[in-house]
Amino acid sequence: MAAPPPSFRGDWITPDHPEYPKAIARWAANAERHATAVAFVKDAEDVSLALKHAQVHGIPISIRGGGHSAAGASSVEDGIVIDLSRHLAGVRVDAEKKLVYVSGGALWESVDKASIEHGLATVAGTVNHTGVGGLTLGGGYGFLSGQHGLVLDNMVQATLVTADQKIRTVNSGENADLYWGIRGAGSNFGVVTEFVLQLHPQRRTVFAGMAMYPAAALAQIMAVMTAWWDKGLDEREALFQCLTKGPDGNPVIMLTFFWNGSGRRAGRTSRNSLISVPRSIVVARSLTRP
């Protein structure tokens, strides 16, 4: 297992290699595993070779895209990590067709930056340092979901390497069963080396911000949010909520606001009741992508 399979073009990193600690490091420290080898694949053919190699030797695999899985899905103990992040992280925009071609190891930051240069965007996550692959195959919701659905709703095609080492184009007209499968039924149908995602017209300036409330404000916040929900959200707005610890160690409620438009007045219209909750700390303003 020390040597890579014949004709493998990428980088084959084993525990004795100086890059090994970096190769198995993950965004979440608890997700780190000690792989037998990390295969930094260069193309779909390399993925096929790595899959066959693992099958011949009877060892497990995992696939790393962005490496953001806190559950450890992108790591494996005593197996092979097929890592797309080094050589398969490119992004190409077809502005005329409003499509973006995204390599399987790309991060959302790369997609966002390339797309907005053409006044376009697709549904991404809530932070831009996550991988495209894991979020897309897991369904994926983000700040533009109100207007354009989940990430998987915007996937029009993929290049998939299946367990039989075959490289397949997957869309509504070709391998349609697999296309259906990877759009919501999980990530175990194969290794996606490229996604093709639908793009939508998108302004550079949005209104967004964060608010922090003490735990004692929970009842008031829930009353406001229930009334807001019953009234119906505008498709241009989104709200991300979490419970965490504040700087003093006490529990706090965090809200992230998003309004797909410019202007403080437009952004605050639906949020005045939340922003005015007593003892809240609010930072919200118009943000423009450079």
Mind listing the pLDDT tens digit for each residue in 105-147? 999 999 999 999 999 999 998 899 999 999 999 989 999 999 9
Residue 14 pLDDT exceeds 80: yes
Distance CA 3, CA 16 (A): 12
The 3-class SS string of the chain reads: CCCCCCCCCCEEECCCCCCHHHHHCCCCHHHCCCCCEEEECCCHHHHHHHHHHHHHHCCCEEEECCCCCCCCCCCCCCCEEEECCCCCCCEEEECCCCEEEEECCCEHHHHHHHHHCCCEECCCCCCCCCEHHHHHHCCCCCCCHHHHCCCHHHEEEEEEECCCCCEEEEECCCCHHHHHHHCCCCCCCCEEEEEEEECEECCCEEEEEEEEEEHHHHHHHHHHHHHHHHHCCCCCEEEEEEEEECCCCCEEEEEEEEECCCCHHHHHCCCHHHHCCCCCEEEEEEEECC
CB contact burial 182-201 (16+ within 10 A = b; e otherwise) = bbeeebebbbbbbbbbbbee
Residue 265: band (very low, low, confident or very high) from pLDDT cuts 50, 70, 90: low
- What is the C-alpha R_g of the chain? 21
Q: What is the pLDDT of residue 111?
A: 98
* pTM of the predicted model as reported, rounded to 2 decimal places: 0.92
Residue 264 pLDDT exceeds 70: no
Residue 279 pLDDT exceeds 90: no
Residue 247 pLDDT exceeds 60: yes
Of residues 220 and 15, the one with the higher pLDDT is 15
Q: What is the pLDDT of residue 286?
A: 75
Residue 65 pLDDT exceeds 60: yes
Q: What is the pLDDT of residue 80?
A: 97
Contact 36, 65 (CB under 8 A): no
